[in-house]
């Protein structure tokens, strides 16, 4: 079952204009509208929030808008530039989310995420991450995922706040109460339906098709069937000449998994030859299957480092062949390196006595393509004396920057996400506890070492100017070792609460 994401950018034209103008952009409180020409009329295409608050709406005549708001700033829209920017945005999404991405003019993208959502932590996390990326750039965005392009498109514009995940097979219940303008129909058809008294898609879908087809043509029924999943609506993926792509067309459609795997190996070999000529290695591969029913299936595979090993790349792709539904057959296969980086040659061992360095990148690639690369990481040291700030998550194959943790005091192998309070009996100010109670279990301290004093990072926050922690390594009767600390120096109340916490466990 395909899963389609529709990304809606409500203020795409105005947001693009604001980013283009930069410092010269009008203030947010300025009532500004972009106008475009429809036949002989000049109409409002999009508006700043201040103009919308003044009662202006897209589709309104420009002369009426100027009459309603005396200090209105009117600027001509540039639909061609907006469409070009939307194509560039589609290429950006192609590299980050899924192999099938297309622009959905004038203000959106459509993405077939079938088989790729798990790489982003599931549909909910994928949509929220997608929307948050745009919010961080100052662009309003809404997104919805459904079984069909039509249902996702309508839901993103009329239901999502700001995201919506429609369960498989549930698109009919969602769209039946939406207005007929949600169906991507010609404005003349929408106006005609409203004249006849139709307001929602449920009302239109509940009447016989023949009279409506005689009056409005086949577009209405086709859009309804596409939204409900009764007929397919193919997505033509965006491509540029810069992408390295190889393809294979078949005289007779293929469907067997063994045949598909055989041609995958051939396409990978062809792609690796081109990558070698360009001095590149693949970081992300997209394999598209063009079926005879004019729909696409896709496989995406990523690597942690640039790779040009045909055997390794073939395995990454063929591991996911079982997710492909060939339908009535596949007539075209295309393999694209949607992300490639320079591949630097490295020196192998030159002596029998040298030990080869362990290469775990192959294992990381397999795990990353099965559970999602975002879930794989390793810890790297950060220059900070505060323990919970001294580590950072980085990519598994990120280069080593040479930093390390201080070696004066050992650190526990397990650091708790949040220090947990404990009850203790201790002599102040420099003595470790005689015993402590953690999670309802009382432990008697047999040996201890410390204190190691850690000061707050006063250059970051004024509240840490006097903050102090005294850390102790303690061992109980069972031989288990813990890392505990007292908040404060044991003498002055302004340095901390003097409460005790357990922060880590030694192996």
**Residue in 505, 501, 502 with CA at minimum distance from that of residue 481:** 505
How far from each other are the two terminal CA atoms of the chain, in whole angstroms? 47
Strands of 73-76's sheet in order across? 41-47, 32-38, 73-76
Provide the b/e sequence for 88-108 (b: ≥16 CB within 10 Å).
ebbbebbebbbbbbbbbebbb
Are the C-beta atoms of 157 and 9 separated by less than 8 Å? no
Query: Whole-angstrom Cα distance, residue 84 to residue 207?
Result: 40
Query: Whole-angstrom Cα distance, residue 61 to residue 42?
Result: 6
The whole-number pLDDT of residue 349 equals 59
What are the CA-CA distances from residue 20 to residues 23, 178, 275, 358 (Å)?
A: 9, 35, 36, 48
pTM: 0.74
Q: Is the pLDDT of residue 407 over 70?
A: no
The mean predicted confidence, pLDDT, of the chain is 88
**Residue in 253, 240, 323, 252 with CA at minimum distance from that of residue 287:** 323
The whole-number pLDDT of residue 380 equals 84
Dump the DSSP string for 341-409: EE----PPP-STTSPPPP--HHHHHHHHHHH-GGG--EEEE-S-SSGGGSEEEE-TTPPP-S----SSS
Q: Could you give the 3-state DSSP secondary structure of residue 498? A: coil
Tokens of 335: 């393999």
Name the phi and psi angles at 110, rounded to 5: -125, 135
Exposure of 179 in the CB half-sphere (CA atoms within 13 A) = 9
How confident is residue 158, by pLDDT bands cut at 50, 70 and 90? very high
Q: What is the mean pLDDT of residues 215-234?
A: 91
The whole-number pLDDT of residue 279 equals 92
Tokens of 390: 């001294």
How confident is residue 143, by pLDDT bands cut at 50, 70 and 90? very high
> Beta-strand (E) ranges in 117-162?
142-146
**pLDDT tens by residue, 285-335:** 999 999 998 888 999 998 989 999 999 999 999 998 988 999 899 999 999
The whole-number pLDDT of residue 6 equals 95
Q: Could you give the 3-state DSSP secondary structure of residue 70? A: coil
The whole-number pLDDT of residue 353 equals 63
Q: 15-24, 138-147, 273-282: lowest mean pLDDT where?
A: 15-24
- 187-195 vs 219-228: helix crossing angle, rounded to 10: 100
Q: Could you give the 3-state DSSP secondary structure of residue 438? A: strand
**pLDDT tens by residue, 371-380:** 877 788 888 8
Name the phi and psi angles at 143, rounded to 5: -145, 145
**pLDDT tens by residue, 425-455:** 888 778 889 999 999 999 999 999 988 899 9
Strand partners, 163: 143
Q: What is the mean pLDDT of residues 22-29?
A: 74
Dump the DSSP string for 298-335: EEEEEEEEEE--HHHHHHHHHTTGGG---TT-EEEEEE
**Stretch (H or E) spanning 426:** strand 414-426
Query: Whole-angstrom Cα distance, residue 435 to residue 430?
Result: 15
**pLDDT tens by residue, 349-373:** 566 666 667 778 888 888 888 887 7
Q: Is the pLDDT of residue 176 over 70?
A: yes
Neighbours of 210 (CB within 10 A): 9
How confident is residue 348, by pLDDT bands cut at 50, 70 and 90? low
The whole-number pLDDT of residue 45 equals 84
Q: Is the pLDDT of residue 60 over 80?
A: yes
**Pairing relationship of beta strands 73-76 and 32-38 according to DSSP bridges:** parallel
| Residue 394: alpha-carbon gap to chain centroid | 17
Query: Whole-angstrom Cα distance, residue 128 to residue 402?
Result: 35
**Residue in 121, 189, 200 with CA at minimum distance from that of residue 154:** 200
For residue 151, whether the previous peptide bond is cis, meaning omega lies within 30 degrees of 0, is no
Whole-number percent of the chain with pLDDT over 70: 96
Tokens of 23: 């410092």
**pLDDT tens by residue, 408-421:** 778 888 888 899 99
* Residues 6 or more apart whose Cβ sits within 8 Å of residue 466: 456, 492, 494, 495
The whole-number pLDDT of residue 269 equals 96
């Amino acid at each position: 079952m395909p899963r389609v994401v529709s990304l809606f950018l409500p203020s795409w034209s105005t947001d693009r204009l604001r980013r283009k103008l930069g410092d010269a952009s009008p203030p947010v409180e300025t009532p500004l509208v972009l106008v475009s020409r429809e036949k002989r009329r000049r109409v409002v295409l999009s508006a700043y929030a201040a103009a919308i608050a003044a009662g202006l709406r897209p589709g309104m005549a420009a002369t009426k808008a100027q009459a309603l708001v005396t200090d209105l700033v009117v600027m001509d829209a540039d639909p061609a530039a907006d469409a070009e920017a939307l194509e560039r945005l589609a290429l950006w999404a192609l590299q980050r989310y899924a192999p099938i991405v297309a622009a959905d003019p004038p203000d959106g993208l459509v993405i077939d995420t079938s088989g790729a959502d798990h790489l982003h932590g599931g549909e909910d996390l994928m949509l929220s991450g997608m929307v948050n990326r745009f919010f961080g750039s100052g662009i309003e965005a809404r997104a919805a995922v459904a079984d069909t392009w039509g249902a996702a498109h309508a839901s993103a514009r009329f239901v999502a706040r700001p995201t919506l995940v429609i369960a498989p097979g549930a698109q009919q219940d969602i769209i039946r109460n939406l207005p007929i303008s949600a169906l991507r129909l010609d404005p003349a058809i929408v106006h005609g339906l409203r004249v006849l008294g139709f307001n929602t898609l449920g009302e239109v879908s509940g009447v016989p098709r023949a009279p409506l087809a005689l009056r409005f043509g086949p577009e209405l029924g086709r859009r309804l069937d596409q939204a409900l999943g009764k007929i397919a609506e193919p997505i033509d993926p965006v491509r540029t000449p810069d992408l390295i792509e190889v393809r294979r067309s078949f005289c007779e459609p293929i469907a067997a998994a063994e045949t598909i795997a055989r041609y995958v190996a051939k396409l990978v070999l062809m792609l690796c030859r081109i990558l070698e000529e360009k001095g590149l290695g693949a970081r992300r591969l997209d394999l598209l299957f063009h079926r005879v029913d004019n729909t696409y299936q896709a496989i995406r595979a990523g690597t942690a480092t640039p790779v040009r090993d045909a055997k390794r790349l073939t395995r990454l792709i063929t591991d996911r062949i079982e997710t492909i539904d060939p339908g009535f057959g596949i007539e075209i296969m295309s393999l694209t390196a949607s992300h490639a980086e320079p591949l630097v040659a490295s020196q192998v061992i030159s002596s029998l006595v040298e030990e080869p360095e362990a290469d775990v990148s192959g294992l990381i690639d397999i795990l990353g393509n099965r559970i999602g690369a975002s879930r794989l990481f390793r810890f790297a040291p950060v220059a900070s004396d505060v323990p919970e700030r001294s580590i950072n998550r980085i990519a598994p194959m990120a280069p080593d920057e040479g930093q390390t943790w201080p070696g004066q005091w050992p650190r526990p192998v397990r650091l708790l996400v949040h220090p947990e309070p404990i009850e203790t009996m201790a002599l102040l100010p420099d003595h470790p506890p005689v015993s402590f109670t953690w999670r309802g279990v009382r432990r008697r301290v047999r040996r201890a070492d410390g204190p190691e004093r850690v000061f707050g990072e006063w250059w970051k926050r004024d509240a840490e100017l006097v903050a102090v922690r005294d850390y102790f390594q303690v061992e109980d009767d069972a031989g288990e070792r813990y890392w505990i600390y007292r908040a404060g120096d044991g003498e002055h109340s302004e340095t901390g609460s003097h409460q005790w916490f357990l922060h880590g466990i030694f192996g």
